Structure formats: structure tokens, C-alpha cells
Amino acid sequence: MNRSRPVVFAFVLALAAGSALAAPPAPATLPAWDQLSPAQRDLVIAPLRDRWNADPQARTRLFQHAQRWQQLTPEQRARMRHGMGKWEHMDPQQREAMRALFHKMRDLTPEQRTALREQWRKMTPQQRREWVEANRSPAD
Amino acid sequence: MKIDRPHPPGDDALSDEDFDRLSRARHRDAVASLSPRVQAQLQQRLRASRMPAAGMRRRHPAWGLAAACSLAVVFAFGLQHRLADRDTPVPASSVAASSNDNGELVATLDEAPDLYLWLASDDANRILSE
């Protein structure tokens, strides 16, 4: 048993060495956008290109959103990413409700928003569904 | 342990020399009856018991192998570290693999940025917490 220890030890080490060499190198820190090659930039924006080409009707909306994003301050962009994080965890029904509430609230005064919040809080799930249906947000 | 003295038929009193001679003869017969494989094993064990240092010498190659593997591990990790740190052009495939924001990129423009901003507001927080 004792004689086999070095062999087992060597075998484990050899496995570790093999896996270390076989494992892909850790992702290197990528350079800034301007330093990326054209091929690398194409890869990064490929999903957006697909989205753009797949839905001609959405191009105006996508472009307007890009223009709006351009106007945001770095602090607003950080908050926006925070909001996006919440959005990602919502189900379609919840997203529809939040979209309707957002479009409704942005035209309201602070007092009216408070009133709507209070009204929303008292609604039953069925009443909320009906309210969302009645206040469905228009396409941007 | 009881040892039976060999008793040739008709002879109850054996001298020490006779006893020794008969014992050796029986031993030779017993050894001769063993299979070649068992004999080889016995000889091997006998040699091992006579040379206690030999076992230690046999271990040296294994430990040498272990040490070599240790060096290989250190070398492998070191090499990997250097490759990762080196400022070489990143292949396009790495860019795609590390870009976990592909979905986010589209989502950023799919919805109004102001909707996302509002979702991070107190108004939205109060509604979502209810």
C-alpha cells in the first residue's frame, strides 16, 4: 500500500497538470471598443444586427431608444441597468403591467402618481388585469 | 508449536545428525513438490527480506516521478498564467464567448430607456413590493 502512494500521487499530479494545460486560458481583459478588430466588433453587435434585420417595423423604435440612451448621463445609464436587471426577472404579465403603469405615470403629477399607486395597491389581481388591458401602452 | 520428528520405520532412537539429515531431505522433497511459480515467489520474497534497503531503492523512481509531475504542474500553471497575462490580440471567438451582454445589448434598445430608469425608481419599487 505504501509503495503505491508515490504512484498515486504522481498520477493525481499528472492529471492536474494535464487539466491545467488543457483548460482554456482565462479570458484576457478585452481592450476598449476602439482597439477591437472589425471582426470582434461584428461579433459583439451581431445580436443587435439580427434584431434590426429581423423586424423592419421595429427599426424606428430601436433607433429612438438608441438616441435616448445617448442622452443619458453615466449615472442614469447605471440606474437604467439596475432597472433592466429587474425587468429580466419579470414574467410577461408583470412586464405588461409595469409597461402600462410606466406610460400612465409619466404623464401624471406626483400627487396623481401617489393616488394611482394607492389605487393599484387596493386592486385585486383580476382588477389589475382589467386595468392593464384598458391602459395598454402604445407601441413607442 | 509441536514439531514431529521424522521417524523412519523400525527406528525409535535417532541421533541428532540423523534427525538433521532426514529433516533436510524432507525439506528438499517438499520444495521440489512446489510449483515453479510458488518457488519463484518464495525466492523473490527471500531476496527482499535479505535486502531491506532494496525496497527503499525501489521507491526512489516513483518519488522521482512524483517530483517531476509536481514540477510539471507548477510549470503548467505558470505557463497558463503568463499566457493569460500576455497582452496578445484576443481571438474573435473569445470576444463572443466573454460577451455575456449579447441579450442585454438587444434588450437595451428593445424597451424605452426611460422605462428601465423608472423601474429603478421609488415609484416602481413601491409597486413591485406590493
Question: Which has the minimum average pLDDT: A91-100, A103-112, B87-96, B113-122?
Answer: B87-96
Give residue A26's identity as a one-letter amino acid code.
A
Does the structure's ipTM exceed the value 0.95?
A: no
Alpha carbon separation from B107 to A66, A93, A115, B82, B101 (Å, rounded): 11, 17, 31, 37, 9
End-to-end CA distance of chain A: 75
Helices (H) and strands (E) in chain A, counts: 7, 0
Instruction: Print burial letters for A28-63: b (CB count within 10 Å at least 16), e (below 16).
Output: beeeeeeebeeebeebbeebbeebbeeeeebeebbe
Which is higher by pLDDT, A138 or A57? A57
Taking contacts as CB-CB distances below 8 angstroms, the residues of chain A near B54 are: none
What does pLDDT average to over chain B?
69
Which of B84, B99, B103, B89 is closest to A42 using CA atoms?
Answer: B99
- Best probe of the B interface among A42, A44, A77, A90, by most B CBs < 10 A, is A44
Asked whether the beta carbons of residue B128 and residue A86 sit closer than 8 angstroms, the reply is yes
Using one digit for the tens of pLDDT, what is the confidence trace for B64-121? 666 665 666 555 555 555 555 444 555 555 555 444 455 777 888 989 999 999 999 9
Report the pLDDT value the prediction gives residue B117, as an integer from 0 to 100.
95
Instruction: Determine the 3-state secondary structure of A78 from DSSP.
Output: helix
Taking contacts as CB-CB distances below 8 angstroms, the residues of chain B near A86 are: 119-120, 124, 128
Taking contacts as CB-CB distances below 8 angstroms, the residues of chain B near A54 are: none
Shortest Cα distance, chain A CAs vs residue B41, angstroms: 18
Place of cell 494535464: A18
DSSP secondary structure code for residue A33 in this structure: G
B34 touches chain A (CB under 8 A): no
Alpha carbon separation from A128 to A90, A124, A132 (Å, rounded): 16, 6, 6
If you count residue pairs, one on A and one on B, with CB atoms under 8 Å apart, how many are there? 169
| Model confidence band, residue B56 (pLDDT cutoffs 50, 70, 90) | low
B115 touches chain A (CB under 8 A): yes
Which of B57, B60, B78 is closest to B68 using CA atoms?
Answer: B60
With pLDDT > 90 as the criterion, what percentage of chain A qualifies?
Answer: 71
Which of B6, B3, B88, B114 is closest to A77 using CA atoms?
Answer: B114
